[in-house]
Amino acid sequence: MRSRRCAFHYNVLERQFRRYMREAGRRQGNTGEVLLQLLELRLDNVLRRAGFSRTIWGARQMCAHGHVLVNGKKVDRPSYSIEVGDVVTLREGIQKLAREQMESIPGHQVPGWVVVNPSELSAKCVSRPTSDQIPFDVNTNLIVEFYR
């Protein structure tokens, strides 16, 4: 997958994608893997992976409208970075919509790095995602080379 398609998948613009690349280059480990971890651990993406929203755009709207709590505090930035151990919950006003979204995605596979409690509509990040837990093929080497 090319960098533009990867950025589109996570709904980030070019400038923001370049920031993620710089941050991934600063951190310890494989730059490509760290980049994907940074993108996967965005709040809007965690909501989508948990099944609370069918699309990344719907998840962004949930965040921007203030319907999301992280560790009990309101977070209205879709780009908020989730850490291991954080619990994401939804406010009461959006829970009906989230339940409908969850039911409308038959066979949705929640990745192993997120544990979802459907009765409470909460998701907990239990580990950092690995490249084999990402549901699409991406050649991180091409992306890293393009931005160097």
In the chain, the number of structural domains is 1
pLDDT tens-place string over residues 27-50:
998 888 899 999 999 999 999 999
Residue 115 lies in domain? 3-147
Query: What's the rounded Cα separation, in Å, for the pair 33 and 37?
Result: 6
Can you give the CATH number for the domain in which 104 is found? 3.10.290.10
- DSSP category for residue 137: -
pLDDT tens-place string over residues 97-148:
888 888 888 778 888 899 999 888 899 999 998 887 777 777 777 777 787 7
Confidence band of 1 (pLDDT split at 50, 70, 90): low
Query: What's the rounded Cα separation, in Å, for the pair 136 and 6?
Result: 10
Query: What's the rounded Cα separation, in Å, for the pair 108 and 103?
Result: 9
pTM confidence score: 0.88
Query: What's the rounded Cα separation, in Å, for the pair 112 and 98?
Result: 20
Give the HSE-up count for residue 96: Cα atoms under 13 Å, Cβ half-sphere. Answer: 1
Query: What's the rounded Cα separation, in Å, for the pair 13 and 7?
Result: 7
Mapping DSSP to helix (H, G, I), strand (E, B) and coil, where does residue 63 land? helix
